[in-house]
Structure 1
Amino acid sequence: MNNFKRLSCIFILLLCFCIVFSSCSGEKSAKTNKITINAAENMIDETGILATIEELSSDKYKGRLAGTEENELAAQYLVDHFKKIGLVSSPKLENYVQKYYTQVQIIKNEPVLQLEDKEGNVVKSFKYVENFVIRALSSQTQDIDIKAPLYKAEDMEAINTSKEDAKGKICLFSLSSRQNASTTEMVETVSQNEALAGIGEFDIKSEDRKHSNLTVTPFRGPWMRGSYNPYMLVDNDTFVELAQAADKGLYLRFICSFEEDFRKPVSNVIGLIEGSDPKLKNEYIIVGAHFDHVGDNKNGTYNSGALDNASGTAGLVEIARVIKSGKIQPKKSILFIAFNGEESGFTGSEYYVNNPVYPLDRAAMINMDMIGASKEMPITIASADKSGYGLQDEMYEYARALGIEARKGDMAGSDHYSFAQVGVASVMLIDEDWGNGYHSPNDNMEDISKTKIEQIVKLVLHYIDKNAY
């Protein structure tokens, strides 16, 4: 009898041990299936990230300018990715696409800028993008052909008090005469003084310069009110030549044809991983990146935008893939938005926050713009205003814990700004490498570090792991 009792007790103890061990093993297994940073490290596909950047920065998409056929091809490429990953498309969307309308101006051929004598003989031709870029075109005509004498403006005050000197001419504004005036102010000055066009000097020689080249942007015209005439920027050496030409009595000719559309349909691309918790799924972590860039130069070159922002877009796609492939899904919902029109003034993100597909009242937003620059520098975790400081501090601490060199900064120049404007805590992750060929044909795959872009993807996954599971 005693032996039987003893055996029974041993059996019961063994049974309890097995149950406890099984429970602990199950818990341990569940934890390892969670998207922890260690698990993510093994799941991140650097080759896939680089392949996405290479694709989006290829000739097929010619700089992805909002309003172009190539931009829509890029949107479709992302739709296909979202579908393959298994993201959810809201019933409010058309197959992941949120359409909106914007105003665009797109050049049809290579702009011409050349010096001519009175008889029309060409004395010197300048190269588009290399020597000059356009900031505003015209509200009067879409076929610009101007030939006029040059006028050197001494300063902004002088030109505004002697209108007759500038009337019917092309005004030259040196760095000193511009007095740090904005592009909008310069365009208004040209128009108010009845000049046919304006040209400003752009410094690419200064040791403290931000950019090492002239930068291409969508034209300022669509956001101007009233009448305006063309305005351009030229490099230092070209400006000197133009100033000398003014003294010699030479003429400057500017030719450019463009198309304008006041209601061009463009697309944001949006996909969701719905949270698994019945209550927490109504809270959203938004991961965003803009996929548009500044387009084709119509001279055999295009602005590929590898760092800006095929990199952020590729990071977004990879984050979605890693989370979706995990065995345990997040409790909160993770929303992925590839924005259009960032280069045109954050038009895609502005449209989204005014027409949200999912509620914004319980959301946080992480924007990735220019991530993974090969230049040695810390990643900037930027907030547009104080509403993002808490999120910024949290992301900074996670970066330090992961051994990622980072700094905090204040910066509003991307899509996180739109979210900050409506009170959503938001930050931008950015590598501030402005000298890499920013907004030019030189922003290519050579600017991308596989190691650094993996670090930033890991950082975002770490935030999601800490806040959504």
Structure 2
Amino acid sequence: MMTEQFAPPDLLAALTLLDSVRMLEHTHQLCAPVFAGRRVGTQGHTEATDFLIEHWKSLGWETTTQAFPLSAPVLEQAAPLLLEQVTAKGEILRTFVQRTEYCEHPRSAFQPDIVEGSVVRFSEEGALDRYQGAWVALDAVPQGTAFTTLADELAHQGAIGLLTPLYATADGYLVKRIIAGTPVALPVLSVRADLHVDLTGTRIHARVPVYAHQAQGGNVLAHRPGTDEHLASSPLILGAHYDGVGDDVEGPRLPGATDNAAGVAVLLELARVITQARLQFRRPLLFVAFDAEEVGVQGSSVLATQLKAQGSTPLMLNLDGAACLNDAVWIEPGSQTEPLLQPLDQAGRWLDIPLIVGNIASDQRPFVQAGFPAVGVSVGAAQLHTPGDAIERVQPEALRIAATLLLTALWQLAA
């Protein structure tokens, strides 16, 4: 722990106020069923937005939202998926389990009705009518326009759907994909690779009611003014994305606890401690719960573009993963980030928290691309985009490390 020999008394006092139990509780709240995994464009996501607004307002921070249309659509389900193996008479032999045995394909055509047919393995040789009324099992998924062309050809030959192989994670899950691609001509389901092989020669019926949905996103911004008017246009931004990939419709929950409810919980706790300790900063503080990170860091891209157009010169720290302990905290520096790296390094030394350079594909990158000093921070996350990313994975000590490291860095950067 930091010693008084190095640490200013007001910072030491603020660090003692950090509460891991409170952060864990906020993480638990963000993972609640009412928020339904916080996927952009859903009612659960709207509920999560309102929760954050109310929390920051209750602390006295000026809180606003920044709405924006998504530049890439999300994959929407109108009803539950279905995949069953049946006899020639339509009797059910096996009902496959969503998310562990099969899942959505982001380029599927919309098929809300159950379609039944035999499963035929794709081959470039053979009679043209072999696919009539069949689900075609592809050994691999062609890329780009090649997939569109193949689906068109198979649909012309009478195929009724496509089955593609997908490998499960080490924990047995099929990762959820929510960025919708251009739909092909046929409904498509992804099947766990070992099961996909065994389906050839059997009969199935399936329903794939998925479609591309053009949703609207919204960042949540909490602002605290600084004491130096000369730094009014040079805020210190601390960000963490609050969107997730969302629960499956009438299927498994994907609460997104480590990615990134825990990171947002750290922001909420830091705002509380800064308010309670009455810490004064020369720079304005801007805490941002970014939206649409899971569909191509769109929320951070919108804010970075806006700030650049306004002539602002922010410093930016982004927390993505504050839930799982690793050997060291990952840091992804951008260009011209020495003003951020030095305080982070000093905080790590004071607090005895090891830091290493790591790859963090998250919301700091649009700020780097906009020419702003920005650094990504990650303590750790687990089982991303699967039902395994649940509250049980969140470690209070990881939350404490993230919060103490960032508060110590914030104090140096903005005081």
Task: Look up the SS of the partner of 2:401 in the other structure.
Answer: helix
User: What is the correspondence of 1:188-207 to structure 2 with a 5 Å cutoff?
Assistant: 188=148, 191=151, 193-194=153-154, 196-204=161-169
Match of 1:244 among 198, 212, 219: 198
The one-letter code sitting in structure 2 at the alignment partner of 1:199 is T
> Residue 105 of structure 1 corresponds to which residue in structure 2?
75
Contact 2:236–2:283 (CA under 8 A) maintained in structure 1: yes
Question: What CA deviation, in whole Å up to 9, does each residue of 1:2-51 have, x standing for no partner?
Answer: xxxxxxxxxxxxxxxxxxxxxxxxxxxxx634xx2x22321212222111
TM-score, L = length of structure 1 = 0.76
The one-letter code sitting in structure 1 at the alignment partner of 2:198 is Q
The one-letter code sitting in structure 1 at the alignment partner of 2:209 is S
> Residue 4 of structure 2 corresponds to which residue in structure 1?
none
The one-letter code sitting in structure 2 at the alignment partner of 1:202 is Y
The one-letter code sitting in structure 1 at the alignment partner of 2:272 is R
Task: Look up the SS of the partner of 2:16 in the other structure.
Answer: helix
Query: What CA distance in whole angstroms lies between the structure 1 residues aligned with 2:317 and 2:146?
Result: 34
Give the drift of 1:318. 1.3
The one-letter code sitting in structure 2 at the alignment partner of 1:234 is V
Match of 1:121 among 91, 98, 102: 91
Task: Look up the SS of the partner of 1:279 in the other structure.
Answer: helix
The one-letter code sitting in structure 2 at the alignment partner of 1:347 is Q
Give the drift of 1:59. 1.4
Match of 1:311 among 237, 248, 262: 262
Contact 1:396–1:407 (CA under 8 A) maintained in structure 2: no
Query: What CA distance in whole angstroms lies between the structure 1 residues aligned with 2:101 and 2:115?
Result: 18
User: What is the correspondence of 1:354-369 to structure 2 with a 5 Å cutoff?
Assistant: 354-356=305-307, 359=310, 361-369=312-320
Match of 2:371 among 398, 411, 423: 423
User: What is the correspondence of 1:15-94 to structure 2 with a 5 Å cutoff?
Assistant: 32-33=9-10, 36=11, 38-89=12-63
> Residue 158 of structure 2 corresponds to which residue in structure 1?
none
Task: Look up the SS of the partner of 1:324 in the other structure.
Answer: helix
Aligned residues: 401
Bigger share in helix? 1
Give the drift of 1:200. 1.7
Question: What CA deviation, in whole Å up to 9, does each residue of 1:68-90 have, x standing for no partner?
Answer: 1111000000000110111123x
The one-letter code sitting in structure 1 at the alignment partner of 2:65 is V
The one-letter code sitting in structure 1 at the alignment partner of 2:69 is Y
Query: What CA distance in whole angstroms lies between the structure 2 residues aligned with 1:190 and 1:416?
Result: 38
Contact 1:379–1:405 (CA under 8 A) maintained in structure 2: yes
> Residue 340 of structure 1 corresponds to which residue in structure 2?
291
Asked if 1:408 corresponds to 2:368, the answer is: no
Query: What CA distance in whole angstroms lies between the structure 1 residues aligned with 2:119 and 2:317?
Result: 48
TM-score, L = length of structure 2 = 0.85
Give the drift of 1:57. 0.5
Which consecutive residues of structure 1, in runs of 5 or more, have no partner in the other structure? 1-30, 90-95
The one-letter code sitting in structure 2 at the alignment partner of 1:150 is V
Query: What CA distance in whole angstroms lies between the structure 2 residues aligned with 1:186 and 1:132?
Result: 23
Task: Look up the SS of the partner of 1:299 in the other structure.
Answer: coil
Q: Structure 1 pair 390/298, CA: closer, same or farther in 2 (3 Å)?
A: same
> Residue 103 of structure 2 corresponds to which residue in structure 1?
133
Greater radius of gyration (CA): 1
> Residue 380 of structure 1 corresponds to which residue in structure 2?
330
The one-letter code sitting in structure 2 at the alignment partner of 1:244 is D
Task: Look up the SS of the partner of 2:48 in the other structure.
Answer: helix
Q: Structure 1 pair 294/144, CA: closer, same or farther in 2 (3 Å)?
A: farther
Question: What CA deviation, in whole Å up to 9, does each residue of 1:200-258 have, x standing for no partner?
Answer: 23144xxxx5x65222231x32xx3474544443334423xxx2331xx2233320324
Task: Look up the SS of the partner of 1:410 in the other structure.
Answer: coil
